[in-house]
Chain A
Amino acid sequence: MKRKLPYILSIIALIALSGASPVHAAKISVVTTLTDLADFTRAVGGDLVEVHSLATGVEDTHGVPMKPSFVPIMNKADLLVLVGLDCEHAFLPALMEACKNPRIQKGTPGYVDCSKGIVPLDVPKSTEHSEGDVHPYGNPHYMLDPVLAKTAIGNIYNALVAFAPQHQGEFARNRDAYVAELDAKIVEWEKEMKPLKGVKFVSYHEHWPYFAARFGMDYFGTIELKPGIDPTARHIEELIASMKAEHVPLVVREPQFPEKVPRRIAEATGAVLVTLPIMPGGVPHTETYIKMMDYIVHTMVSALQGRK
């Protein structure tokens, strides 16, 4: 046994040291919480990054399952890219604690909060739970405004440059090319959405205030009673009555919410029901951010054109 002891200790030391100084692969390892951030990181980082998104796209932005299989991936990450504004409060803090990676903890350069530079909408005056599961820093769904998405892209670019300054030129070229493509699409989307200016709509969850502000739509209300709280029968009745009175023509259902109640409301009010993704991959043929925005714009426009 005594002879074997040095070997056993060597093996233990090797296992321990393999965790102590993680060998960085040639590529920068980036973990993003949501798929839009993964898309942006791939666009800016190009071949220099390896991106893993915790969400696949079909989940609710607040309801990504807290899977232990995420932990080893986060443990080796160089950068963690998140939406911020408390969007990931239901799953990210516990995962960050479990992953034991000091490089991506809050306050470090590896913690990339994409909301930096965003002026949030709907900042609550109170965080009382009587107002539901409110986000204390304001509505976090700014990514559905493609102009604000450019702020997130800028934050990702800055983080990549800070991590690997030797690749600044390539990151800048990639970013500029992607932003140029996005700018051209924004012009296109604004043109397409022009007929929808002032059009009122409701959605299941409060995902759409930034989108509505960008395209001049009137965000009438939500099917949820309060953020994170299912609608009561009275709330549904009141919503139907007010939608009828105000001639609200559109009901948006995010695919992770059940269809039954939105359909009932649409039928009762004569509004059109559309199912729209809130991040890339939420519905088929929306694998990238641009494809997702294309899908949202085309679906909304054609739904209301069909109604006319």
Chain B
Amino acid sequence: MKTVIALITLFLFASIPTGLFAQTVEERLNALEKVLKEQEKTIKEQQKVIEDLLAEVKELQPPVQGAAAAKEPAVTQQVQEQVQELKEKVDQVAEAQTRTVPSVFNPAVGLVGETVFSYRSKGSDETGSDRPGGFDAFQRSVELNLSASVDPFAKGYAVINASADPKTGEANATVEEAAIQTTSLPWNLEVKAGRFFGEFGRLSYIHDHELPFVNRPLALEEYVGGESRTDGVQVNYLVPIPHYVSLTVGAGNQFGGDVPPNDVGTFRQGSNVNYWGRLSSFFDITPDISFEPGISGLWNPATTDLGGGLPQPDGSTFFERERRLAGADFMLSYKPLRNNQFQTVTWGTEVLYSDNRYNVDEPAGAILNRAVGSTGLYSYLAYKFDRQWTVGFLYDFVESPENNRAKTSAYSPYITWALSHWDQLRLQYTYTNPNVATGFKPDNAVYLQWAWIIGAHSHGWQER
């Protein structure tokens, strides 16, 4: 401790200027007066230099005569004021550019509304529809679309749908899609993860309002379960050859209409997950005619009990054990290069084969294994004869995936009036003809669909 005090004392003494002890106050004042006089002399010398320079500048300037000479200072002042004013404005703009405004980071926002007015000749008890018979107005979807770049490597998007519940009519907001998608992976790869519509077939990953007709084809409803929504991951690979070949594979918790295998407390095997894939290509037959084929597959090796029991008309109950679905599709298009906004013909077809495996509880108590192979297809022809008008015809056929003797076909002529990109009306008549094995009755229905978009709207790849 003593050592520390000694060191501090020594430091303080060393810090005191030694001159304080050497000079008296009078001597210091004299020294300061001398410094001031030297500085005064320097300033006077500099003033003289400035005056000489100004005189030289004046001599070099051309003589200004009369009124102009009087006006010059005023004009100069005016110009200076204008320059100053301009400078202030530029500074304001520059400042505004650098200012951080929270809204500039907002994603692109769009809202889709879709209302379907309809009349059905039979009640839902006779058609199996989730909508009532007779007159019906259904706000099928109110979709909020958000999208933006996440960073230089990915984009993100979300689709939040507040569609009305078929039974209660209450709008239930659900996240239809919310996914991240890479944008700069090497090797022609793209990865998507989150909740999204998995790429299976041609129309199952398209939202309702983007379909070329009012309702999703029966085969997609029966086998995929509507839209191909999944929680999972999907990888797309553009095969690096001069011809377009796209390969997609994915794995997800659920796919379409099935129930996700997430029973609390159970240990999930990889076999409980859905796996799907799609291979598609494109051929220019002529500059105006193109052919786009694709094949798809969906497999869930172990779906036992996940969807619950499926009671059958014969009294037995089916429990899905394994989900197997294969599909082939094509689109043949005539799109004249010159006036493709005014005239196109499109023929699209998709054939699906379901080969599901079931455990069957017989009424007698026996449990059997059964494989049910069933087929479904839809085919449509659409003719756009004007920028605003398209007519089309859709044919539907499907066998029940649990009972391939239960067959339903449907015929739907329709006409679409697109007032603009963002406002579209569609009138459709559908005759649905189920056979006796389905337990349902033939039905006539008329639909009027009105779909609209506000805000951001991008022309997506799937809309080509």
Contact = CB atoms under 8 A, between A and B. Distances in A.
Contacts of A15: 239-240
Interface string B213-250: 00000000000000000000000001111111010000
B282 A58 contact: no
A129 B454 contact: yes
Contact of B421 (A20, A228, A255): A228
Interface stretch (B271-279, B284-292, B297-305, B349-357): B284-292
Contacts of A95: 461
A68 to B, nearest CB: 4
A196 B164 CA distance: 61
B388 interface: yes
Judged by DSSP, the binding face of B is loop
B338 A58 contact: yes
A72 B242 contact: yes
Nearest to A16: B187
B464 A66 contact: yes
Interface in B366-393: 387-388
B106 interface: no
B341 A256 contact: yes
A258 B339 contact: yes
B461 A72 contact: no
A105 B337 CA distance: 26
Contact of A19 (B188, B244, B281, B283): B188
B188 A97 contact: no
Given A129-B420, A230-B387, A71 B238 contact: yes
Interface string A99-110: 110100100000
A66 B135 CA distance: 40
Nearest to B454: A129
A251 to B, nearest CB: 18
A95 B239 CA distance: 16
A89 interface: yes
A98 interface: yes
A93 B184 contact: no
A72 B190 contact: no
Specify which of B187, B287, B460 lies most central, judged by the most chain A CB atoms within 10 Å of its CB.
B187
Nearest to B458: A93
Nearest to A70: B244
A132 B186 CA distance: 39
A69 interface: yes
Interface string B187-222: 111100000000000000000000000000000000
Contacts of B338: 58-59, 255-256
Nearest to A229: B420
Specify which of B190, B388, B461 lies most central, judged by the most chain A CB atoms within 10 Å of its CB.
B461
Contacts of B459: 66, 89-91, 93-94
A63 B340 contact: yes
Contacts of B287: 56
Specify which of A56, A59, A72 lies most central, judged by the most chain B CB atoms within 10 Å of its CB.
A72
A124 interface: no
Nearest to A57: B337
A59 B284 CA distance: 16
B183 interface: yes
Nearest to B280: A68
Contacts of B284: 67, 69
Nearest to A64: B337
Contacts of A126: none
B337 A65 contact: yes
Nearest to A55: B337
Given A19-B188, A68-B282, A63 B461 contact: no
A73 B240 CA distance: 10
Interface string B23-37: 000000000000000
Nearest to B333: A65
Contacts of A132: 420
B131 interface: no
A72 B388 contact: no
B260 to A, nearest CB: 29
A122 interface: no
B122 interface: no
Nearest to B419: A229
B458 A72 contact: no
A63 B188 CA distance: 27
B441 interface: no
A132 B342 CA distance: 17
A133 B420 CA distance: 9
B354 to A, nearest CB: 28
A10 interface: no
Nearest to A99: B238
Contact of A94 (B183, B240, B244, B458): B458
A229 B419 CA distance: 8
A228 B457 CA distance: 15
A228 B460 CA distance: 18
A65 B344 CA distance: 11
Nearest to A255: B338
A75 interface: yes
Nearest to A128: B454
Interface in A34-91: 56, 58-60, 63, 65-69, 71-73, 75, 89-91
Contacts of A66: 459, 461, 464
A80 to B, nearest CB: 15
A94 B462 CA distance: 9
Contacts of B460: 94
A89 B459 CA distance: 8
A73 B238 CA distance: 12
B142 to A, nearest CB: 18
B238 A75 contact: yes
A67 B331 CA distance: 13
A102 B342 CA distance: 34
A129 B422 CA distance: 8
Contacts of A258: 339, 342
Contact of B240 (A18, A58, A97): A18
Contact of A68 (B242, B463, B464): B464
Given A59-B337, A60-B341, A257-B339, A68 B184 contact: no
23 contacts: A15-B240, A19-B188, A19-B238, A56-B287, A67-B290, A68-B246, A69-B243, A71-B238, A71-B244, A72-B238, A72-B242, A75-B238, A90-B459, A94-B460, A98-B238, A99-B238, A100-B238, A105-B184, A129-B422, A133-B421, A228-B421, A255-B338, A256-B341
Interface of A: 15-20, 22, 56, 58-60, 63, 65-69, 71-73, 75, 89-91, 93-95, 97-100, 102, 105, 129, 132-133, 228-230, 255-258
Sorted nearest first, the 3 A-B pairs with minimum C-beta distance are A19-B240, A68-B282, A66-B464
Given A69-B290, A100-B190, A256-B341, 12 more contacts: A18-B240, A19-B188, A56-B337, A65-B335, A66-B464, A67-B290, A68-B464, A69-B283, A71-B238, A71-B244, A93-B458, A93-B459
